[in-house]
Amino acid sequence: MRGIEIAKKLNISTSALKHYESWGLVPKVERAKNGYRIYTSEHEAYFQCIRELNAGFGMDLVKKVIPLIINGKTHDALWLINKAQVDLYTEKETVQKTVEILDSKDLIELTNIKKYRDKNYFTIGEVAKEANVSASSIRHWEKEGLIKPERHIESGFRIYSPSDIRRVFIIRTVQRVVYSLDIVREVLSDIDKNNIVRTKEMALQSLQYIDNALVGQVRGIASLQNLLDVVSKKEEKEI
């Protein structure tokens, strides 16, 4: 099977096939006497899987998963896929929390959300865990003036109010849709004026992105199962 045939079938370039090969994402490719690569149905299954997994999970994960398959570490590969799915679900829950916050009648203190009623402040670690974001990102947003936590009088540590948590949720959700911090500032300014229309639209758009990613992941997993079947049949023939 020629590379151009696979490329045409998968709607990708032959150079992409060569890149995947150079990255170690397909088994060794034999060459004919004239130097042309000789691809098999197994190679085609790998290329198809790479393409589908990339759409659903991203190339960074593909570069971890596929070499594991090649080296017979199927379960390790599947656990990586499983973790990515869990991460996507966690992301959806976080964005849904943002929508819940935006729907809250008390946008400033979140007093109608149970977990925020009896606590006046939170540590940066607690905020990071609650909003599913890194502490370094929170510090960066503080440096950019997007959030302004107070400092504990005795320890000097940052302390975050429920209002600060609300802003963190909103910032991380908006940044899934737009990367510009200037737009994030505009959104926060709108919210300070009790105008949440644009923010709500962005949060719902973010949820749509996540739903689309889920569909992509399911397609990628189906292609991965096809690859595993092809590999299994080849191994059976070699026994």
High-pLDDT (> 70) share of the chain, %: 92
Asked if 52 and 220 touch (Cβ cutoff 8 Å), the reply is: yes
What are the tokens at 163?
A: 């209002």
pTM for the full model? 0.77
First to last CA, the chain: 24
In this structure, the answer to whether residues 229 and 123 fall within a common structural domain is no
Pick the closest to residue 43 from 79, 76, 69, 74 (CA basis). 69
In this structure, the answer to whether residues 62 and 114 fall within a common structural domain is no
121-170, pLDDT tens digit by residue? 888 998 898 888 999 999 999 999 999 988 888 788 888 888 888 889 88
Strand partners, 160: 122
pLDDT at residue 213, as a whole number = 93
| Residue 80 domain flag | no
Q: Which residue has the higher pLDDT, 147 or 80?
A: 80
Query: Residue 164: how many CB atoms within 10 A of its CB?
Result: 21
Q: Torsions phi, psi of 61, nearest 5? A: -70, -40
Q: Measure the CA–CA gap between 121 and 92, rounded to whole angstroms.
A: 25
| Residue 91 domain flag | yes
Q: Measure the CA–CA gap between 159 and 165, rounded to whole angstroms.
A: 11
Q: 110: which residues sit within 8 A by CB, 6+ positions away? A: 101, 104, 116, 162, 163, 165, 166
Q: Is the pLDDT of residue 114 over 70?
A: no
What are the tokens at 191?
A: 């919210």
Sole residue written with tokens 């570490």: 73
Query: Residue 56: how many CB atoms within 10 A of its CB?
Result: 25
H/E run at residue 29? none
Q: Which residue has the higher pLDDT, 224 or 205?
A: 224
H/E run at residue 178? none
> Residues 42-63: what's their mean pLDDT?
95
- The total domain count for the chain is 2
Q: Which residue has the higher pLDDT, 194 or 206?
A: 206
Asked if 50 and 7 touch (Cβ cutoff 8 Å), the reply is: no
pLDDT band at residue 107 using 50, 70 and 90 as cut-offs: very low
Sole residue written with tokens 């594991």: 68
> Domain span at residue 196?
85-211
In this structure, the answer to whether residues 45 and 66 fall within a common structural domain is yes
In this structure, the answer to whether residues 203 and 96 fall within a common structural domain is yes
In this structure, the answer to whether residues 63 and 93 fall within a common structural domain is no
10-44, pLDDT tens digit by residue? 999 999 999 999 999 999 988 888 888 889 999 99
In this structure, the answer to whether residues 58 and 138 fall within a common structural domain is no
